Amino acid sequence: GGDPPLQPSVDFPGGDLLVTPSPDEASCQILCTNHPDCDFFSYHSVDPGTGQRRFDCHLKTSEPGVPETRKPDSGVTSGFSLPKTPEYLTRCLAPSYDGVEFVGNVLSFGFVTSREECEASCTRNPGCQFYTYYPAGSTG
């Protein structure tokens, strides 16, 4: 069969390896797949206190390799790592998102002539998970 299905409105509490920004659930799954110790993940898209949009990908592990508990949570989607094989490890992380800036650690900064060139530069850098492209004339 295909990829393991995502589980909307389910949180896998505990077992966090790290929390990293991610634009969506599918990208969070790819981040988990690319982390050598990640078995499963929970993607938090809504802050329960404020209702604000979030982009938090919680990469997780446990001794048995599966979540020990599952908790209903409407602002969370959870799932499992894809097989850690070349087919899955080379998948691109996400489609592009206009008007969204992902904040985090800046690996590099350069001048390019197109979004495609920026994406290609990110793809060539093994540590790059996301890029932000500012078209000429924009403020970034």
CATH T-level assignment (fold) for domain 7-89 = Hepatocyte Growth Factor (3.50.4)
Nearest-angstrom CA–CA distance, 54 and 11: 15
- State residue 114's pLDDT score: 84
CA distances from 63 to 52, 83, 85, 121, 140 (A): 33, 18, 21, 37, 43
- State residue 42's pLDDT score: 98
* pLDDT tier for residue 132 given thresholds of 50, 70 and 90: confident
Instruction: Find the mean pLDDT for residues 95-116.
Output: 70
Report the candidate in 74, 137, 128, 75 with the shortest Cα–Cα distance to residue 102. 128
* Contact yes or no for 43/24 (Cβ under 8 A): yes
Nearest-angstrom CA–CA distance, 28 and 47: 17
- State residue 121's pLDDT score: 80
What is the rounded average pLDDT for all residues in the chain?
A: 83
* Contact yes or no for 102/27 (Cβ under 8 A): no
Which of the two residues, 110 and 41, has the higher pLDDT score? Answer: 41
* pLDDT tier for residue 57 given thresholds of 50, 70 and 90: very high
| Domain ranges for the chain | 7-89, 96-140
* Contact yes or no for 33/82 (Cβ under 8 A): yes
DSSP 3-state assignment of 113? coil
- State residue 139's pLDDT score: 57
